[in-house]
Structure 1
């Protein structure tokens, strides 16, 4: 995989993994090009179905590993006594920024498997990479959906200004609930199309269900959403109806998801998946939470 490869931009699921940052130390790994290619391909395929939040929000970046914060365009006054003696009329203010969080999830690969790649094996045992990819995707999804207090991220659920709607467990009632949520957004002046994000169990109930008359619940929901989509969303508790119109929600990427090298011992290569990101809700009126 060439050094220009990186995850795809806004509203799309991962199709690549960035490898161009020197701090990833890939050039120090006793791993051949053939093995790196399989590792990168496996990371792409495991991330793609799980990075659900990126299908619902605007994605800015990636801006690079040295990108550390997002300008919020606001200030707060500083206590003048903390700056020592100042002249009359001096104003002291501090800029508000949202710092990016760094996430690293380690995984291992057998050195025997890496050697087999050079022999022509195209089915390496990369199960631990699959686990790491799921963990990282779940963390990013949860930060967007439910927030991450330690990283100063407020998620979609808590930011909504609208009263939550009960979802229930009967998928044939989901279209009625979604219609109420869409009506709430429209009444607030929020245009569509819209999306329904729902956890894996709820999504499975939707795709397996039909209404009276044989209409698929999934098709009915898509019509209600104004041509939008129903998104299987690991890491989401309950569900959300959001506007897909641009400008409401922003996921800022410093380094996009990348594979790095840590060290090797006699039998095992120790690698990791890493990214830096933050998330902000610009328009809290553009989301309605559906509770279980």
Structure 2
């Protein structure tokens, strides 16, 4: 039996199908980094760490004898969030219902997406993950005082990337507040279309960020390493409710800091 234990859940095939479909819909609309980062995997549950290609040579060794090094690795992170669903409500799906209450599932999916996104953009120090915000802090650009100045700022960022031999097309990931300003700016030619023409790629919203990030649209040097992709597992149940969980395992590696410019 695998770690997800789905076969133990008292759920119909229709219920599982609806649960997975609802989770996928929420996750796909909230995971912005997967739209530009290169994806390695999924490698499976037993893939626990990424080799960095470097050795740590402990001090105090007798250089006249055998000298050893320890391989450096970057461990994967495995988040998990539990949620409960009403069994009777899920049984209604087999009866043809199309409005089952999946609110707790949807809330859990948003929280898992937030965890992955914040890990990518802001990092987790004790997991050896440096977020996009900090990998290239010396090239940080300031948001302009008015939305009209954003085009010039993005152009400056693209110039910096080209000077560092980072090629386009590019993607601009923006906060919800900035997305609202861009989408509602219609003086003359819409600002969003002007930006996308300059970028050669899309402007997308990052639901859980407060800044903007300029990255290549196919960012080979921003690598999201996935052990187990996002999955739903079974924990327990009683006569009324089933307790499930959402989980994954992943880490982030940025091989070229010049491939990220934060605007904020």
Normalised-by-shorter TM-score class: over 0.9
Task: Classify the secondary structure of the residue corresponding to 1:122.
Answer: coil
Runs of 4+ with deviation above 4 angstroms: none
Corresponding position: 1:215 with 2:189: yes
1:129 to 96, 105, 123: 105
What is the number of residues matched between the two proteins? Answer: 264
The equivalent residue for 2:239 is 266
Corresponding position: 1:106 with 2:82: yes
Partners of 2:112 and 2:63 in 1: how far apart?
A: 51
Partners of 1:42 and 1:203 in 2: how far apart?
A: 25
The equivalent residue for 1:156 is 132
Name the CA shift for 1:230/1:22 in 2 (closer, same or farther; >3 Å).
same
Partners of 2:120 and 2:104 in 1: how far apart?
A: 25
CA shift, 1:171, in A, is 2.4
Corresponding position: 1:22 with 2:31: no
The equivalent residue for 1:93 is 69
For residues 77-97 of structure 1, the C-alpha deviation after alignment (integer angstroms, 9 at most, x for no partner) is 02455xxxx783412101011
Q: If the length of structure 2 is used for normalisation, what is the TM-score?
A: 0.95
Task: Classify the secondary structure of the residue corresponding to 2:3.
Answer: helix
Partners of 1:244 and 1:174 in 2: how far apart?
A: 19
Partners of 1:203 and 1:139 in 2: how far apart?
A: 21
The equivalent residue for 2:156 is 180
Stretch of structure 1 that moved more, 153-162 or 240-249: 240-249
For residues 98-150 of structure 1, the C-alpha deviation after alignment (integer angstroms, 9 at most, x for no partner) is 00010101111111212212222122110111111111111111111111112
Corresponding position: 1:237 with 2:213: no
Q: If the length of structure 1 is used for normalisation, what is the TM-score?
A: 0.86
The equivalent residue for 1:67 is 47
Higher relative contact order (CA closer than 8 Å, sequence separation 6+): 2
Name the CA shift for 1:169/1:115 in 2 (closer, same or farther; >3 Å).
farther
RMSD, matched Cα: 1.6
Partners of 1:58 and 1:153 in 2: how far apart?
A: 16
Partners of 2:85 and 2:11 in 1: how far apart?
A: 10
Long gaps (5+) in structure 1: 1-20
